[in-house]
């Protein structure tokens, strides 16, 4: 009787799985690019920004349309209605958001400033919760908005302990996405960050004109925080001294949130 010998699967057999993962990664890149966009995007713009061919980008968009993740009007594409159930589920069930709401409410009430919570996502940050202060902000910043780590106190505090290599990656990503000018360098970005030994970041007129902000990281057991809490105000309603006077309350809020999430998120 002939003996059959089993052999390990080779690269050729792993090809379809690898190809599927690459296709998924590309689809998510296109989806993320649409999230960053301030307006509907044309096929040619999406393809260029994502570094893909027109046929590949079009195939991806058609699949995303089939699932309601993308909508099309004339020759432009935008985020579709299928994202709303996912967003609702996140806001109602995510332990971070649920725990943060009363904490943000308290610090906003005590300081009179707008309190916000951000989560880091790759080389960007996303607003996940907000409680308005006494003075309305000059701009509308909706939940889920993608923002750079390079501008604003809430982003900079998350880079406070970053290595030079990580800062260079952040700079490259911010420039590639159009969130920063091409002349930004890791050295310039390092100069924007808090001084060593300072546990908060301050910003004025950085991401939005006429807006002051102070932020603190929410510590976790990994030592590399991915969330930050900020206090924000229009310049006519507060000063740098006013914002920094709120740091003790902000520090307590960040500590409280860290304690509440210790066993459930990190």
User: Do 195 and 255 fall into the same domain?
Assistant: yes
Count: domains in the chain:
2
CATH number at residue 115: 3.30.450.40
115 located within any domain: yes
Residue 239: give the domain boundaries.
Answer: 94-263
pLDDT value of residue 36: 82
Q: What are phi and psi of 59, to 5 degrees?
A: -60, -40
pLDDT value of residue 104: 95
Closest to 211 measured CA to CA, from 203, 221, 219: 203
Q: What is the largest CA-CA distance in the chain?
A: 90
Q: How high does pLDDT run on average in the chain?
A: 87
Query: Running DSSP on this structure, what letter comes out for residue 157?
Result: G
User: Do 124 and 44 fall into the same domain?
Assistant: no
| CA atoms of 151 and 159, how far apart (whole Å) | 11
pLDDT value of residue 1: 41
User: Do 58 and 190 fall into the same domain?
Assistant: no
Q: Does residue 239 carry a pLDDT above 60?
A: yes
């Amino acid at each position: 009787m002939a003996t059959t010998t089993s052999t390990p699967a080779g690269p050729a057999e792993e090809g379809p799985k690898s190809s599927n993962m690459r296709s998924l990664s590309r689809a998510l890149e296109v989806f993320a690019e649409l999230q960053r966009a301030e307006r509907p995007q044309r096929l040619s713009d999406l393809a260029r920004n994502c570094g893909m061919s027109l046929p590949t980008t079009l195939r991806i968009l058609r699949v995303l349309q089939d699932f309601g993740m993308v909508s099309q009007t004339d020759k432009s594409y935008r985020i579709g209605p299928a994202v709303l159930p996912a967003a609702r589920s996140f806001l109602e069930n995510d332990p971070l958001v649920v725990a943060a709401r009363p904490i943000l409410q308290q610090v906003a009430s005590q300081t009179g400033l707008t309190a916000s919570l951000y989560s880091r996502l790759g080389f960007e940050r996303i607003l996940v919760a907000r409680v308005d202060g006494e003075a309305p902000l000059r701009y509308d910043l909706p939940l889920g908005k993608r923002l750079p780590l390079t501008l604003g106190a809430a982003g900079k505090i998350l880079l406070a302990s970053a290595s030079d290599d990580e800062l260079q990656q952040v700079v490259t990503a911010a420039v590639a996405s159009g969130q920063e000018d091409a002349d930004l360098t890791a050295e310039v970005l390092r100069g924007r960050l808090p001084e060593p030994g300072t546990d908060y970041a301050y910003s004025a007129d950085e991401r939005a004109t006429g807006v002051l902000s102070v932020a603190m990281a929410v510590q976790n057991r990994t030592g590399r925080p991915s969330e930050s809490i900020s206090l924000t105000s229009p310049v006519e309603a507060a000063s740098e001294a006013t914002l920094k006077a709120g740091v003790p309350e902000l520090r307590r809020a960040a500590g409280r949130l860290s304690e509440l999430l210790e066993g459930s998120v990190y």
